[in-house]
Amino acid sequence: MADERHGADLTPRPQLRLAALLALSALLFVPLLVHYLEPPALLKVLPFYLFATAVGGAVLLATYTSLGTRYAQQLSLLFVLGLTSDLLLYLYLEPYATPTYPAIVANLLTCLLMGSAALYSWRTRRTVLVGAMMCVGFALVSAILSSRGLPGAPFGLAIGSLVAGVVTAAASARVIERFRTSLAQRQDELAALSTRLMTVHSTASGRRIWGRCRVARPMPAGSWPRRSPRCASCRRACGLPRSTTTGSSRRWIRR
């Protein structure tokens, strides 16, 4: 209960902006592509970098809108799925333009998943679900490319490293989730302790005020008590019944 209440306040908007800026940094690889690739191969690979940049720019602009702020968690999920599909499509079309390096794509997917679990405070279930989708998509692309004559060993090793990365990301998300739950419980306990201390302090203050107030002489039943000369420092609190003073203090605490 405490985790759900405090977890709802963790809006990943600043973290989402940081991730979008990292996606925009894909443009930094364009000069390297121009230098190392031939023009026909460059034209086949460049759209994937531009797509990642477009996704990052769209997410960055969405974080400055009210709709993007309200649905920041869902936007982070769409952002990760968009980059994942871009990487898998790049792996599928890469053999026709450049040499195939499936381990690099697997490492990029692992970094994307671990960074998302840490930045967006994803729960373990969401991390495992997204990681499973990455593994299934990567295995499907690997099977298609292996059936077309490409060596299957690099894809098998890459899938193994990706599964290990998903397990690591899920374990990290679990640790972060438990830490967040423990922190929320401690905050609730601290708030309850503070409330009890204020209540005790107000009750003790009411007792001190009542102890300083003395009735000048016996009163008939139902009459209001008179203040003695020594109680001038009590001001308005002097002569008030104990229950009234304590009730006023409690009402002040509730405010």
Parent domain of 173: 2-187
Residue type, 25: S
Number of domains into which the chain is organized: 1
CA gap 140, 6 in Å, rounded:
39
143 in a domain, yes or no? yes
What type of residue is 7? G
pTM value > 0.85:
no
Provide Rg for the chain, Cα atoms.
33
Return the number of other C-beta atoms located less than 10 Å from residue 248's C-beta. 14
pLDDT tens figures, 138-156: 999 999 988 888 888 888 8
Higher pLDDT, 59 or 220: 59
pLDDT value of residue 95: 67
Q: Give a yes or no: residue 77 inside a domain.
A: yes
pLDDT recorded at residue 82: 93
Tell me whether residue 67 is in a domain: yes
Has residue 9 been placed in a domain?
Answer: yes
Average pLDDT over residues 41-46: 82
Write down the pLDDT at residue 160: 92
> Where would I find the H helices in the chain?
2-7, 13-24, 30-36, 39-62, 66-70, 72-93, 102-119, 124-147, 153-212, 242-254
- The whole-number pLDDT of residue 45 equals 83
Q: How far, in Å, CA of 221 to CA of 20, rounded?
A: 77
Instruction: Please give the pLDDT value at position 73.
Output: 85
Question: CB within 8 A of 183, min separation 6: which ones?
Answer: 6
Domain contains 136: yes
The predicted structure's pLDDT at residue 182:
82
Say yes or no to pLDDT of 85 above 90: yes
Whether 24 is covered by a domain: the verdict is yes
The predicted pLDDT at position 13 comes to: 78
At 214 the pLDDT is 46
